[in-house]
A and B are shown apart, each in its own frame.
Chain A
Amino acid sequence: MPQIFHHSTNALAKLTIYGAVFILVALLWIAVELNRSSWNTGQWVERQQPVQFSHKHHVGDDGIDCRYCHTSVETAASAGLPATTTCMNCHKQIWADSSYLEPVRESFRTGKPIEWIRVHDLPDFAYFNHSIHVNKGVGCSTCHGQVDQMPIAYQASTLQMEWCLGCHRNPENFVRPKEKVFDMQFRQENKTNDEIAEGRSLVTKYHIQPPNVLTSCSTCHR
């Protein structure tokens, strides 16, 4: 009886069996990497806005406080976006003729708000409240990065659940004194033993709930 397969198929068969293990592991690894990559999360991706607005200029160079524009950050779930009139407070005097600012003036004339593109967009099934975080010593830059150095704002974190839980499980690694919350230069994370010890005392001082409460499903999924 003639052979159906050439004898080299023996080697091929062994190769495929062992190869399958590596291919499966590699595929799994690729899937995991892609899932955490900025391609999937949108982290680091700069968002072009209808107006060429630079946080670097306004916050870094001019020293305007976050709350001047994001007025409701201490009292509401949403930090809030400024009305066009807030822009015009200054820009009726400064750069009043700049062509870059024409969309702002047009908005002011017509009363139609500027349609800013949201940079940090949490999924709708996650409940998030800015005020509780800001009032318990979570700094702006901890989540949003050093905005004073961003000519164009980008999403500074992955916004994936493991990222949220990183702080909810160990708040002492991130919490800072309340008066430093809006300080862009303050450290974003407590790394040394002393910093973490300070974080721990702040957790007690600010009555931050223990991890079993902070990581309960219904804390964020209501």
Chain B
Amino acid sequence: MADEPHNLGPLHHSTAPVVAPGLTFASVTDKISSIVLKRKTPLWWFLGFALSFILFQLLLLTITKLVFEGIGLWGVNVPVAWGMDILNFVWWIGIGHAGTLISAILLLLRQKWRTSINRFAEAMTLFAVAQAGMYPIMHLGRPWLAYWLFPYPNTMGIWPQFRSPLMWDVFAVSTYATVSAMFWFVGLIPDFATLRDRARSKPFQLLYGLLAMGWRGSARHWHRYEMAYLLLAGLATPLVLSVHTIVSFDFAVGIIPGWHATIFPPYFVAGAIYAGFAMVLLLTIPLRKLYGLESFITMRHMHNMAKVMLATGLIVGYGYVMEAFFGWYSGNHYERFMIWNRMHGPYSGYYWALILCNIITPQFLWIKKLRSNLLVLWLLSLVVSIGMWLERFVIVVTSLHRDFLPSSWGMYQPSTWDWTMFIGTIGFFFTLLFLFIRFLPMISIFEMRTILPDAEVEE
């Protein structure tokens, strides 16, 4: 094993190497694959998995009850017919965006530092999209008919409503899930082969062997592989922008005050990346510590991610300011009331908490010292994650509960089952994540090897 220098302090973060010095091809492969194949599964893994799995049961319980009793189980009702289910959908799908940004856009921009975190972030994307997808399907009320959303030759003789943004959502999210899954899987193929070759037991040899799809690492394999990976990256790149743009259309195409705003697409995309990076930080900081991966995921990664978070946070902050400004500048009675109601109405607490979480708190990231403190960074990421949840709550609930007609005003209170569903999806997310870190290489082995100093070719 190579040395693991822990003190990286003196190096300036922007010029610091992407990985710690002293790593070799062999040690990289050893270290990452041993987590899956050799090392004893740590106790915290079992504890974490058990806890997630228990919470996951809450989701199954809620869904079962929901199927039998209908969505009246949730707190949604007129006027707030889109409550926790839609805001959690937006929250989860937003989180996924960091993965796609890291894997696709940073790949095309040749940002080498992405290599240490892309596999993990992509997995996070997939698992988050899986949670997100469940909400609108369950919201249908008759989820077993969800396939009606797809345009297929049906006996009803009609197409789905193509003019509805909810229909666009179906395509945006299903495309996103498919491309993300393919990108993730293709990226894993050479690593599956490594695991296949290193696995000792026959079942694991077979399992990883099947997944590796006959990968032998020949020059021809690599040539085709690089091409395929680049093409998928090209496909995934527009998705970073398109998916959340279309999610924002769910609101922006509606005429409800507070939804009908042209700023929604860019502001939603920035918010998604903001929330996504917060989640990546939230997960990598403990994982890196627990598995001793400091030499792979260095302080440079932390700084870079913190900076992306700060930048997108500022865009989101600009979005809030503009929302308020246009509410006032429109001169429209309803828009003005909507903004006033957000700030002073019954849900004003949520609004100001959101401002605190999403605009004020990330300003600490300007300070390098705080950015370098992993505990602070972790807490900031947690605050941002909560803030982004609050943002969706404010958008969904405060706009709906006071619309044009005072006679149709009402209040929204999430029911217990709203919360069990949300906690259940968190449980499901972490269940998948724990299985992922146990059975698959959480850092791309072959890509890590390419960024080592050994890999540099002198001409």
Contact = CB atoms under 8 A, between A and B. Distances in A.
Contacts of A166: 157
B206 A4 contact: yes
A36 B158 CA distance: 15
Given A4-B196, A10-B214, A13-B214, A161 B156 contact: yes
B157 A161 contact: yes
A162 B156 contact: yes
B205 to A, nearest CB: 5
Interface string A1-32: 10011000110010000000000000010001
A18 to B, nearest CB: 14
20 contacts: A4-B196, A4-B205, A4-B209, A5-B209, A9-B214, A28-B152, A36-B155, A160-B155, A160-B156, A160-B157, A161-B155, A161-B157, A161-B158, A162-B154, A162-B156, A162-B158, A164-B157, A165-B156, A165-B157, A165-B158
Please list the 10 inter-chain residue pairs (A to B) with the smallest Cβ-Cβ separation, ordered nearest first.
A162-B157, A161-B156, A160-B155, A165-B157, A4-B209, A4-B205, A162-B155, A35-B155, A161-B157, A10-B214
Contacts of A160: 155-157
Interface string B5-35: 0000000000000000000000000000000
Interface of B: 152-158, 196-197, 205-206, 209, 213-214
Interface of A: 1, 4-5, 9-10, 13, 28, 32, 35-36, 158, 160-166
A30 B155 CA distance: 14
Given A158-B155, A160-B156, A162-B157, A13 B196 contact: no
A1 B197 CA distance: 8
A162 B153 CA distance: 10
Contacts of A9: 214
Nearest to A35: B155
Q: Could you say which of A5, A28, A32 has the most chain B C-beta atoms within 10 Å of its C-beta?
A: A5
Nearest to A215: B158
Secondary structure dominating the interface of A: helix
B317 to A, nearest CB: 43
Contacts of A36: 155
Nearest to A28: B152
Contacts, number: 34
B213 A13 contact: yes
A125 B152 CA distance: 22
A161 B157 CA distance: 6
Contacts of B155: 35-36, 158, 160-162
Nearest to A163: B157
A32 B157 contact: no
Contacts of A165: 156-158
Contacts of B152: 28
Contacts of A158: 155
A222 B87 CA distance: 31
B357 to A, nearest CB: 43
A5 B193 CA distance: 13
Nearest to B155: A160
Nearest to A160: B155
A5 B154 CA distance: 43
A163 B154 CA distance: 11
B153 A32 contact: yes
A26 B69 CA distance: 36
Contacts of B209: 4-5
A10 B152 CA distance: 34
Nearest to A41: B155
A28 B154 CA distance: 11
Nearest to A32: B153
A32 B71 CA distance: 30
Given A161-B157, A162-B157, 19 more contacts: A4-B196, A4-B205, A4-B206, A4-B209, A5-B214, A10-B214, A28-B152, A35-B155, A36-B155, A160-B156, A161-B156, A161-B158, A162-B154, A162-B155, A162-B156, A164-B157, A165-B156, A165-B157, A165-B158
Contacts of B196: 4
A5 B153 CA distance: 42
B141 to A, nearest CB: 14
A207 B226 CA distance: 66
Contacts of B156: 160-162, 165
A159 B206 CA distance: 51
A4 B212 CA distance: 12
Contacts of B197: 1
Q: Could you say which of A4, A5, A9, A160 has the most chain B C-beta atoms within 10 Å of its C-beta?
A: A4
Contacts of A10: 214
Contacts of B206: 4
Contacts of A13: 213-214
A214 B153 CA distance: 21
